[in-house]
Amino acid sequence: MPESRPAYYVTTPIYYVNDRPHIGHAYCTILADVLRRYHSMFGCETFFLTGVDEHGQKVEEAAKKRGLTPQQHCDEMQAHFRDLWPTLDISNDDFIRTTEPRHERVVKQALQQLFDSGDIYKGEYEGFYSQRVEKFFTEDELIDGKCPETGGEVQRIVEANYFFRMSRYQQRLIDHINANPDFIRPESRKNEVLGFLRKPLQDLCISRPKSRLSWGIELPFDSDYVTYVWFDALLNYVSVIGLFHDDPRFRKWWAVSTHLIGKDILTTHSVYWTTMLFALGLDMPRHIIAHGWWLVDNTKMSKSLGNVINPLAMRDKYGVDSLRYFLMREMVVGLDSDFSEESFLKRHNFELANDLGNLANRLVGFAAKQMGGVIPAPGTGSGHAADAEVMAMAAELPARVRGHVESLRVETAIETVMNFVRRLNRYVAETEPFKVIKTDPAAAGGAVYIALEGLRIALNLLWPVMPKKVENLLGALGGNSVVGYFDDLKWGGLVPGTALNLPEPPFPRFELPEFETRPAEAPAKADKAVADRANAAGGAKAEKAAGSQPSDGSSGAVASEHATFDDFLKIKLLVGTVLTAEPVPGSDKLLKLSVDLGEPAPRQIVAGIGDRFPVEKVPGSQVTVVANLKPRKVFGIMSEGMILAATDENGLSLIAPSGTPRKPGTRVG
């Protein structure tokens, strides 16, 4: 047996080639990169895979629209992802495109194997086809026998198709999830999957006749069909690492695989993919980790709301390292987080500039002035009790960081390091080398050495998060480089006498723009008299009274009875024209509306008016829409606004402009 190192294999989803990268893609890929880099520092041999999904109807359509072949279209579009990653310091080992021969042959072989074993069978797919949206619907999805999206006519079509016997593996999957508590993380997602599995699984239709979709991988046993997207896409995780072609390589990586996914593709990975693997006689991946979404103003990003965060813009404005730091520091893996430039800048200024950057800058600046610009000799330290404390903290820091990373608490790992950085700043204040230098240069040198060495260790531990910046900084600290392994991160790596060279502060502060005036500031600054009176009265109570001046009219018990004019202005009321309306299945009064608000795309709005208002009378009506309500799901359908209506015992009327119809998007108020 050759010497074996532990291994670690991490994947991102393959992103849909038609998409433009947004902050969510960047987050997932950076997270994968950070995990890969940490694990390599833990001593693991690592493999990191990302890529793009290139097949499917939408790609075919988009290409057609542009007058290109689908392949030409993909060749062009995939660059949006492939070229982005190096600029975010992503260290992926491979980049898979599902149109590559190395992938297609594995998909075909997998299909053939499942066909031969009877897990893929030909059956009848009964669907209802809507000419208008060129889509199939199941009987359950139809609404009164009409298309659920347009309310239009549908044709019942019985079409031969191939099915995967997913149902056969349901119990095995449930058992595996129960036996491996950290298989699907976080736990709430695991529960979600188990809940889903309480109902019997249907078999999965995995083919499309070429007459309807030709842009896909042909079934090896029936050239009239291509395989449908998921079956193709999911296999990327194993095709790249050698399934069917390089067994030792495949086994090595597959046994240690971690899939990072967005919560929107949880079922696909936890149910479709896992049952496919069972059927193929392969092991489960080690972990499936569903991360959360970046929200903007606590609202999901969407094109129609125009609030999509472009990672390139953030990188260009603030630098790749700050961007990576923020994304990793701010989000708890598995939960949603809010993205705002304000919180970004606060993290940058407080943690990177004030704490970390300033520590480097003050130490190097001091050494340059007082110590000949070189790393001083450690001697016997500063003679201060804090020496031992700092060195003990530094000694146990790698293990603590490793523990947090291994339990996916990346943000806690970072926080742990930053707490140590704060301890180092305190250490400098305690030992006061800038004073001590006048009386005891050796002790001052000892203090600076300890602080610098602590900084070196902290920087190494942050390398996976900010590789470029850390490498540069370590270079500035006496020409050091990143240690390969946590095990090598021992105290005393800095060589006394080597030159320090930090020409400028490593993390310049960014000016914080005025984001919004804070009510708390008003009494302190604008109303000194109130504050003084409060202080004179003494105690926390008085302070509280001063602090609760309802300067914006929205806080304080007194104001709660009335809405102020400002409150009213927060509600954006717009005139809209209803384009389509259809009942929501399973509900007796909800209607799904498509409403023109004069925006590029119509809004989808779910309204509870169906029991009082005939659905066929709604299209064409004008309505008043609350346009800036936070979008929410109603009965599983996203609703992007609210329709105003008045209901009493005589029925319901829509609240809308009377007389001449108004242009969609006209402001009401």
Contact characters 421-440, RNA, x per CB under 7 A: -x--xx-xx--x-xx-----
Tell me the site size for RNA, rule CB under 7 A: 58
Task: List the one residue from 131, 202, 560, 647 that touches RNA (CB under 7 A).
Answer: 202
The burial class, CB within 10 Å (0-12 / 13-18 / 19+), for 481 is exposed
Residue 204 sits at φ, ψ, to 5 deg, of -105, 125
According to the binding rule CB under 7 A, does residue 552 interact with RNA?
A: no
Instruction: Select the residue interacting with RNA from 200, 248, 281, 669 (CB under 7 A).
Output: 200
**Contacting residues for 344 by C-beta, under 8 A, at least 6 apart:** 314, 318, 322, 326
Question: Nearest approach, Cβ of 60 to RNA (angstroms)?
Answer: 21
The answer to whether 586 and 635 are in contact (CB under 8 A) is yes
* 521: three-class secondary structure by DSSP: helix
Side chain identity at 45, as an amino acid letter? Answer: E
Residue 335 binds RNA, judged by CB under 7 A:
yes
Stretch that binds RNA, among 74-82, 111-119, 358-366, 641-649 (CB under 7 A): 358-366
Considering only the stretches 111-119, 189-197, 395-403, 570-578, report the one whose residues sit in contact with RNA under the rule CB under 7 A.
189-197
Q: Out of 109, 354, 551, 628, point to the residue binding RNA (CB under 7 A).
A: 354
Q: Minimum CB separation from RNA for residue 668, in Å?
A: 24
Q: Is 508 in the site for RNA (CB under 7 A)?
A: yes
What phi, psi does 64 have (nearest 5°)? Answer: -60, -45
Which stretch in 112-120, 172-180, 361-369, 570-578 sits in contact with RNA by CB under 7 A? Answer: 361-369
Structure token digits, residue 520: 């708390």
Cα–chain center distance at 572: 29
169 binds RNA (CB under 7 A): no
Dihedral pair phi/psi, residue 14, rounded to 5°: -85, 125
* 168 in contact with RNA (CB under 7 A): no
DSSP for 336-358 reads: -EEE-HHHHHHIIIIIIIIIIIH
Q: Taking CB under 7 A as the rule, which mask of x and - marks residues 205-234 in contact with RNA?
A: ------------------------------
Tell me the residue ranges of DSSP E strands in 413-553: none
Q: Which of 2, 67, 248, 539 binds RNA (CB under 7 A)?
A: 539
Q: Which of 207, 358, 549, 639 binds RNA (CB under 7 A)?
A: 358
Task: Tell the burial category of 208 from Cβ atoms under 10 Å away from its Cβ (0-12, 13-18, 19+).
Answer: buried
Candidate list 64, 102, 212, 518; residue touching RNA; CB under 7 A: 518
The rounded Cα 373 to chain-centroid distance in angstroms is 43
| CB closer to RNA, 297 vs 487 | 297
Nearest distance from residue 345's CB to RNA, in Å? Answer: 11
Contacts with RNA in 468-507 (CB under 7 A)?
505-507
Residue 7: CA atoms inside 13 Å, Cβ hemisphere, count? 15
250-257 own/partner pairs: CB under 8 Å, 24+ apart: 252/7, 253/7, 253/9, 253/47, 254/9, 254/282, 254/283, 254/285, 255/7, 255/283, 255/286, 256/6, 256/7, 256/8, 256/9, 256/286, 257/9, 257/10, 257/11, 257/285, 257/286, 257/287
Residues near RNA (CB under 7 A) = 166, 188, 191-192, 195-196, 199-202, 263-264, 267, 271, 332, 335, 337-338, 346, 350, 352-358, 360-363, 365-366, 369, 422, 425-426, 428-429, 432, 434-435, 505-509, 518, 520-521, 524, 539-540, 630, 632-633, 635-636
